[in-house]
Every structure is written in structure tokens, then in C-alpha cells.
Chains A and B, each alone.
Chain A
Amino acid sequence: QQQVKQSPQSLIVQKGGISIINCAYENTAFDYFPWYQQFPGKGPALLIAIRPDVSEKKEGRFTISFNKSAKQFSLHIMDSQPGDSATYFCAASMGNAGNMLTFGGGTRLMVKP
């Protein structure tokens, strides 16, 4: 049973556009929701994370929107750049940020110049 569902699987955005990736979770015990960026042949790197007590968190061009009642959260990348082209994973865990992560299926983002 896939506990974190991510969509779309792939996304093409023009430079300067907004990239939006969505995730939905099933386990209401999840209370930590990070997003990771992974380049080919590299390990994932934490981009931004949110807890359910806030509905939005922004760091630079990256924003997480969180809807607790719908059990959904999304990543928005504003002013997308070719350098943002990577695979993005949402994840969820229970308790603190160091606990076991359940990953979404990933979204391959390509930003066209």
C-alpha cells in the first residue's frame, strides 16, 4: 500500500514558470513532510519541510502548501530555472525529522530554457 502518492510523474515547465508538484498521504499520524531534490547519480538533498501546524512555508523560490483536512501537500517552484531540472520527492514521517521517511514516487522536472 503506497502511503504517499505523488503526481505528476514528470513535468515540463518553461523557464520562469511555476512548477507545481502534489502529494497526498493516507496515514494521519504523519506529522513531518519534507521535499527532496535529487540530481542524477546523487543522493537526495532536503529542500524544504513543513509540519501540520502551518498551512504554508516559503523559502526563497520554494513554497510548500499544506492542507491537513485533505491530507495533501504541494511544492511550488516559482520562477523555475533550467538548474531546477531534477527529480523531486515528497516524503512523510512521524515524530521528529530524524525518523523513518516514507517517500512518494518522485517527479522528474524539466525546465526548458
Chain B
Amino acid sequence: GAVVSQHPSWVICKSGTSVKIECRSLDFQATTMFWYRQFPKQSLMLMATSNEGSKATYEQGVEKDKFLINHASLTLSTLTVTSAHPEDSSFYICSARSRPSRLHTQETQYFGPGTRLLVL
């Protein structure tokens, strides 16, 4: 099946620093990538939708200046948590939407393994 990778898989940082998380589609081109946040024992909450070459669309309540999203290519989207604080500690998960291709005849969505962020 299609593979989506995230890097790093976990990160610990000091309060006030910025952290960049990468999401890559390894064997397909992703027209759209989604970023989710998941707190312990809770569901996935969509943060933003990222389309290649355009500005991300943020969900209500998500600060776009705090969570910077860049989708510079069809295989890479990045989420930067700026000036991270302890309340930003969470599990961040991306998903990538595949374009129809010879390998993937229909559009579908594949999830990455997640990045655990701990802000001290």
C-alpha cells in the first residue's frame, strides 16, 4: 500500500522554540495533505488542509500564525509549530490524498505514523 512518512517521529523541545514536522508521500503525488492533532485518549481533530502550491486552509480555532503549513511540492508538506508551549504537546498526524494514477486508480487518503511533540 501507499506509504506516508513523518519526521521526526518524536520531538522534545523547550518552551518558546519552534518545531518543524515533515510529512512525505513516498510513492505517490499528494494533491492535498491534511494535518491533525490528537490529544491522549481523544479523537483526531483536523487542524488544516494543505494544497500544493497554495495557502493552507485552517479549521476554526487553529491559529495560522502559530501553526505554519507549507506544501511546496506534491510529496512534501511541513507543519511548523512556532513558539511552542506545553499546551501544544500532542500527537500530530498528517494524511495525504493521492491523485488517481496507474497505481492508485481512485483518490484515497493515507495516514502517516504521527509525530509526538513534548514541549517542556
State the A residues within 8 Å of B (CB): 36, 41-46, 89, 96-106, 108
Contacts and interface: CB of A to CB of B under 8 A. Distances in A.
Interface residues of B, number: 27
Contacts, number: 58
A43 B49 contact: no
B32 A43 contact: no
A96 B49 contact: no
A41 B113 CA distance: 8
Contacts of A44: 44, 93, 111
Contact of A43 (B93, B97, B107): B93
Interface of B: 4, 6, 31-32, 34, 41-46, 49, 91, 93, 95, 97-98, 106-114, 116
Contacts of A45: 111
A98 to B, nearest CB: 4
B108 A98 contact: yes
Nearest to B34: A100
A98 B113 contact: no
* Residue of A36, A43, A46, A103 ringed by the most chain B CB atoms within 10 A: A43
